Amino acid sequence: MSEQSNFTVGLIEPQGFTAVFEAIDTTLKTASVEVFAHEKLGDGYTSVLINGDVAGVRAAIEAGKAKVDGLGRLIAAHVIPRPSKGVSGLLPK
């Protein structure tokens, strides 16, 4: 993972396969970001992690949140600009 000053992590956690699939598709179509990990959390919950520049990740997460509404349940969505080394070390590879 990059240690660039503009590197940003976005997290979105929807419940339901359709909501997860749509959230991923929407985030990737919204900005120049990439999915670098996803974790199945159980009970239909999945956490999807994307990265890219700050503006792109923010736009992608906002668009993904809007798509989840009506398809499933949004548990959380968050953007972390320039995560510290300590946080970066905890992220899935």
Per-residue pLDDT reduced to its tens digit, 17-51: 999 999 999 999 999 999 999 989 888 899 999 99
Given a cut of 90, whether residue 3 has pLDDT beyond it is no
Q: How confident is the model at residue 1 (pLDDT cuts 50, 70, 90)?
A: very low
What pLDDT was estimated at residue 20?
A: 93
**Is residue 48 helix, strand or coil?**
strand
Question: Alpha-carbon distance 9 to 49, whole Å?
Answer: 7
How far apart (Å, rounded) are the C-alpha atoms in residues 73 and 9? Answer: 21
pLDDT value, residue 89: 73
Is-contact 8 57, C-beta < 8 A? yes
